[in-house]
Amino acid sequence: MALALATITPGKPEIFAALQGEGASIGRPSVFVRLSRCNLACRWCDTAYTWRFTGDNRPHTDDVAYDRGQNQLTMDEAKVALAIAELGAHLPFPRLVITGGEPLLQGAALARMITNLNMLDGRDWHVEIETNGSVAPHAALDPLVAQYNVSPKLAHSGNPAELALVPERLTAWAQDPRAWFKFVLGVPDDLDQVVALARVYAIPANRIFLMPEGRDSQTLRDKAIWLAELCSTHGFCFTDRLHIHLSGDTRGT
């Protein structure tokens, strides 16, 4: 059985070790696996190579169409588990961040992969899933997940709200203590939507992170100035994008 993964270079799966760069676990040493495919299409998506394949003309700031054969790789679940175990063998607290794309589109295969990983490693990995929050986790996957990093997409993403903001899902995440919310803001006015969602779905403010939208260090610094101020005023948490400051917008980091 297989997973569709993103690639670092053609033929090389995007599985790597790095510090978690965003959110509640920022700075923690982790192994990452990036899955291919997404159900949304954000204009400013920094991983459009996971979904914007040739023939997909949905709007994106880069307007690049990616060759599927070069940017997507089908890999046996057992081999994915082995690659993760090798990269994490030295970690005293094994943490796996599963990202994408939208990883919850491959929930059943992920459940098998994680079960395999825990068995072959002999330790129970702390699994975090980065999700856009519009897809329900597969029943077999959910008990294997310690943390959901839920990033619902606001209007500036360009997605229709009925695709990006699914009421039953937002209600469920708000009630799940494993779920941390991470809202990407482009301009200060985007905050109004966060405040409205937090109110409608009763999302606790101490589980809400605001993150600047940007793919280079200077943009993040510029936006951090007003975003940090908004966090202080409204009682939300701030998160930077550590990996962008360290490595720029680079695959496998």
Ligand X SMILES: Nc1nc2[nH]cc(C(=O)O)c2c(=O)[nH]1
Binding residues for substrate: 19-21, 34, 99
Stretch that binds ligand X, among 12-20, 115-123, 134-142, 163-171 (CB under 6 A): 12-20
**Applying CB under 6 A, which of residues 100, 158, 212, 214 lies at the interface with ligand SF4?**
100
Contacts of 175 by beta carbon, 8 Å cutoff, 6+ apart: none
Torsion-angle region of residue 51: left (phi > 0), alpha (psi -120 to 50) or beta? alpha
| Contact mark string toward ligand SF4, 5..44, x via CB under 6 A | ---------------------------------x-xxx--
**Binds 40, which of ligand SF4, ligand X, none (CB < 5 to 8 A, cut-off by type)?**
ligand SF4
Selected from 31, 33, 45, 231, the binder of ligand SF4 by CB under 6 A is 45
Both tokens of 27, joined, read: 């700075």
Residue 190 corresponds to which tokens in the numbers above? 């985007």
**Cβ-based nearer residue to ligand X, 180 or 201:** 180
Binding status of residue 130 toward ligand X by CB under 6 A: yes
Q: Should residue 104 be labelled a site residue for ligand SF4 when binding is judged by CB under 6 A? A: no
Query: Do 194 and 236 touch, CB atoms closer than 8 A?
Result: yes
Within 10 angstroms of residue 162's Cβ, the number of other Cβ atoms is: 9
Start-to-end CA distance of the chain, whole Å, equals 27
Residue 142: partners with Cβ closer than 8 Å, 6 or more residues away: none
Instruction: Give residues with Cβ within 8 angstroms of 202, minimum separation 6.
Output: 174
Of 178, 153, 175, give the one whose Cα is nearest residue 166: 153
Is 22 a binder of ligand X (CB under 6 A)? Answer: yes
Residues 217-246, one symbol each (x = binds ligand X by CB under 6 A, - = not), give --------------------------x---
User: Using CA atoms, how far apart are residues 20 and 194, in angstroms rounded to an integer?
Assistant: 24
| Residues contributing to the annotated binding site for S-adenosyl-L-methionine | 44-46, 101, 151-153
Tell which positions 129-168 bind ligand SF4, by CB under 6 A.
Answer: 132, 153
Number of residues that bind ligand X (CB under 6 A): 9
Residues that bind ligand SF4 (CB under 6 A): 38, 40-42, 45, 47, 50, 100-102, 132, 153
